[in-house]
Amino acid sequence: MRFLIIRHGDPYYPTDSLTEKGQREAELLSRKLVNENITKIYVSPLGRAKLTAKPTLDKLGMEPIELPWLREFAKGLVTPYPIRNTTNTCAWNMPPELWTKIPGVFDPTAWREADLYKESEIPQYYDMVCAGFDALLEEWGFRRNEHGYYDVLPGHENKKDTVCLFCHLGLGNALLAHILQASLPLIWHSLFLPTSSVTTIFMEHHTDEHSANARIVSIGDTSHLYAGGEPVSASGLFDPEIR
């Protein structure tokens, strides 16, 4: 079984919608997804994610399921540290000379205790996202255990479903941090998911099909854009260069 984490198309943030480029990206994405044997589509409550999903939904004749926890993290962090002459910053776009010095930043749990994060609602929101994702996986037959891998529930062995999650950059990377049992700030600053990109999680069965490993098969795939002659957007990067 596969879970596809899909970032919205190139955004126009003032109206929570898509630019003309983002609309082209969504259309090219839909031409890829119609061939992926999709079983169900979940969407963020935000407009830019819903608009990205719409061409695929229309082609497949499907209705989306809206999940509140797929909504993007708030970008502002109120912090005592001066960051580019302001007290607010995007939580996954800090300069390396700052975020690498945050106490516990590379530890999967200790980062929560740093003042920068304790003074925000990020740890609590991250917990909600992780709980929502685990609940969704359990609906599809995969229960996360205390070791971080998944027990396959009876009757769900060898499922061939493909499920799409239309969401956001920070949110998508948070799901990857949870799957990897890694530090959220580390993943936020180390991985980039371009607009309309597809990240594939394959639930790989083991031990007579009673356990599964969530294996990341691809991250931020934009092959549909290359196939359609559409440039990859730098939206979400501080440095706007993508080579």
Q: Would you say residue 235 lies in a domain?
A: no
Residue 88 binned pLDDT confidence (cut-offs 50, 70, 90): low
Residue at 56: amino acid letter: T
Q: Would you say residue 184 lies in a domain?
A: yes
Q: Would you say residue 232 lies in a domain?
A: no
Is residue 114 scored above 60 in pLDDT? yes
pLDDT digit string, tens, across residues 39-69: 999 999 999 999 999 999 999 999 999 999 9
Cross-sheet strand order for the sheet of 65-66: 65-66, 40-43, 162-167, 2-7, 198-206, 211-221, 150-152, 142-144
pLDDT digit string, tens, across residues 185-225: 999 999 999 999 999 999 988 777 688 999 999 999 999 99
Contact 44, 206 (CB under 8 A): no
Rounded to whole angstroms, how far apart are CA atoms 194 and 168?
10
Q: Would you say residue 237 lies in a domain?
A: no
Is residue 5 scored above 60 in pLDDT? yes
pLDDT digit string, tens, across residues 166-185: 999 999 999 999 999 999 99
Q: Would you say residue 143 lies in a domain?
A: yes
Rounded to whole angstroms, how far apart are CA atoms 134 and 21?
33
pLDDT of residue 79: 60
What's the whole-number mean pLDDT along residues 123-147? 95
Q: The domain spanning residue 60 has which CATH number?
A: 3.40.50.1240
Number of folded domains that form the chain: 1
Q: How many residues does the chain have?
A: 243
Q: Would you say residue 183 lies in a domain?
A: yes
Domain residues for the domain of 112 are 6-227
Is residue 121 scored above 70 in pLDDT? yes
Is residue 11 scored above 90 in pLDDT? yes
Predicted TM-score (pTM) above 0.85: yes
